[in-house]
């Protein structure tokens, strides 16, 4: 992305470094998992003179992509979004880890009430790129059609949809039948996907 003129700020969700304190807290919701960190990131980016604060794009993978309407409702001055392997329906069974301690009632309720299926038209962003993998066994490309239908309610909405047949859920290319075991194989996001995102951000 940097080679194509795009600055990228990557960070880990809070529950990676503070999983015990956060995931076992019965008041823990998507606000603590995503929103508070995103607000801090946006504040920091807007202090950087080399960053165009009017052109900030948020990319969310999987569940974070699903929560884009929630981000749009609660964040200011975001120019657009990239959703990578984002489900449309709340908590698809393939994404659930039943041994995850975060799956208490408040957390699950916050997920189910803040996705695209629950959003009214004003909470859906105007500019968005949605990318899906043809070998994604967790969030199949059919979810894209549900997003497309939701976006069609506003003809002014600038949504772009792309399917890359060889990508799995981690946006790594492969061949043959995909499986969860593929996640243990190291790989990189293909350059054509990087170019697609860079083009969407810059143009």
* Structure letter (DSSP) for residue 167: B
- For 75, residues 6+ apart whose C-beta sits below 8 A from its C-beta are 35, 38, 39, 42, 58
Q: What is the CATH number of domain 2-202?
A: 3.40.50.1820
Q: Are 135 and 168 in contact (CB under 8 A)?
A: yes
Task: Indicate whether 152 pLDDT > 70.
Answer: yes
Expressed in percent and rounded to 5, the helix, strand and coil fractions of the chain are 40, 15, 45
Please state, as a whole number, how many other Cβ atoms lie within 10 Å of the Cβ of residue 168: 23
Cα–Cα distance, 116 to 40 (Å, whole number): 24
Q: How confident is the model at residue 177 (pLDDT cuts 50, 70, 90)?
A: confident
Average pLDDT over the chain reads 89
Task: Indicate whether 159 pLDDT > 50.
Answer: yes
Q: How confident is the model at residue 142 (pLDDT cuts 50, 70, 90)?
A: confident
Q: Which two tokens stand for residue 48?
A: 């950087």
Question: pLDDT for 91-128, tens place per residue?
Answer: 554 445 555 655 678 888 899 899 998 888 778 999 99
**Domain ranges in the chain?**
2-202
């Amino acid at each position: 992305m940097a080679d194509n003129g795009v600055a990228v700020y990557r960070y880990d969700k809070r529950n990676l470094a503070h999983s015990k304190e956060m995931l076992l807290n019965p008041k823990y919701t998507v606000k603590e998992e995503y929103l508070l960190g995103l607000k801090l990131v946006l504040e920091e980016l807007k202090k950087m003179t080399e960053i165009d604060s009017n052109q900030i794009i948020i990319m969310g993978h999987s569940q974070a992509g699903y929560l884009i309407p929630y981000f749009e409702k609660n964040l200011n001055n975001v120019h657009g979004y990239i959703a990578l392997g984002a489900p449309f329906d709340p908590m698809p069974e393939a994404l659930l880890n039943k041994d995850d301690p975060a799956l208490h009632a408040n957390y699950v309720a916050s997920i189910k009430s803040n996705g695209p299926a629950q959003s009214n038209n004003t909470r859906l962003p105007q500019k968005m790129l949605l990318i899906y993998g043809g070998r994604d066994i967790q969030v199949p490309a059919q979810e894209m059609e549900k997003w497309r239908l939701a976006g069609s309610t506003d003809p002014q909405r600038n949504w772009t949809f792309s399917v890359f047949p060889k990508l799995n859920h981690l946006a790594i290319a492969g061949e043959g039948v995909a499986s969860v075991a593929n996640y243990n194989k190291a790989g990189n996001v293909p350059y054509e996907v990087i170019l697609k995102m860079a083009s969407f951000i810059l143009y």
